[in-house]
Amino acid sequence: MEDAIEQLYREAGRQFAPAIARLARTVERDADRARDLEQEIHCALWTSLSRFRGDCALKTWVYRVAHNVAADHVARAVRGPARVPLEEIGELPGAANPETEAAERLVLDRLAELVRRLPPLDAQVIVLWLEGERARDIAEITGLSEGAVNVRVHRVKTLLSSHFDEPKSDESRTEGALS
């Protein structure tokens, strides 16, 4: 039994450790806390594998455990400092560095910050979607219906993209015409 659990854990780690790390970094901004959360997810996964019977795919099991631990982490954090609803977020600092790599990093950091401010279930759904999961799999992991997942993904994508749309002012159009 121990060998089977160890083999399952190794397989889960081989396939899903990068996704678990990304989830932890998405949920937790502080690098040390993100590593702690990642470790907490791995511990919960190891413990849970003794109950894994193959009724669902290993991927579904791993994501369900990871997202449950992450949701608990977020719930504990919510009891701490007050959060601002995503609709009330002002403009986050824009990309000041002209270098492409730095600009991309800033955009990803900005997106991660916005995702952190989402309600936990919305954050869970959009992170799974960003990981490339299908609505059917997300529904199985979260307990939502497939239709509810699709609606949440669309709503969150629209909301997130609105924070990246910067209409050009008349002044910037004029400057662009002069250069």
**pTM reported for the whole predicted model:** 0.56
From residue 118, alpha-carbon distances to 31, 35, 88, 161 in Å are 19, 21, 11, 14
At residue 174, the pLDDT reads 40
Of 98 and 3, more confident: 3
Q: What is the pLDDT of residues 23-79, one digit of tens each?
A: 898 888 888 989 999 999 999 999 999 999 888 899 999 999 998 898 888 777 656
Instruction: Report the largest interatomic distance among the alpha carbons of the chain, rounded to a whole angstrom.
Output: 73
Which tokens in the block code for residue 56?
């669902």
